[in-house]
A = this chain, B = another copy of it.
Amino acid sequence: MIAKQRIAYKRSQQRERILEILRNTTEHPTANWLYDHLKQEFPNLSLGTIYRNLRILHEQGKISILDFGSTFDRFDARLDTHYQFICESCGKVCDVDLPVMETLEKKASENLGATIHRHRIEFYGTCAECSYKKEDGK
């Protein structure tokens, strides 16, 4: 478990673009989406680079990693605690505008005798568009 000694981060075009895109998207892209998207700018781009940079951005505390049941992670430049909704029909992930309940952590903490650093809430269901599609015709 000897962590590879890293002295400093150097800048890289790719990393800066990844962060920029994440900051300008309300969607929560997957690694693969980022790859497809940036492939145009960097024709030789590789998926390894995407993943390495996502990990680095996460280490730097600049992005967060949202891991749901789905096989792939979603990445987000929003760092504050916020809740998510996942559409089980189309897979879309979006933020839910509900006040964050700090008290929950306290209660759970007392309950378990554990130290709690953070919590997540995920809502699962069918989004407005998908409900609409299902209603008419097929």
Residues of A within 8 A of B (CB): 65, 67-69, 73, 83, 85, 87-88, 94, 96-98, 104-105, 107-109, 111-128, 131
Contacts of A122 in B (CB 8 A): 119-120
A115 pairs with B131, CB closer than 8 A: yes
- Name A127's contact: one of B65, B105, B112, B121 (CB within 8 Å): B112
Contacts of A119 in B (CB 8 A): 121-124
B108 pairs with A83, CB closer than 8 A: yes
A125 pairs with B116, CB closer than 8 A: yes
A18 to chain B, nearest CB (A): 20
Inter-chain pairs besides A85-B112, A98-B104, 13 sampled, C-beta below 8 Å? A65-B69, A88-B117, A104-B123, A112-B128, A114-B126, A115-B125, A115-B131, A116-B124, A117-B124, A117-B125, A118-B124, A119-B121, A120-B124
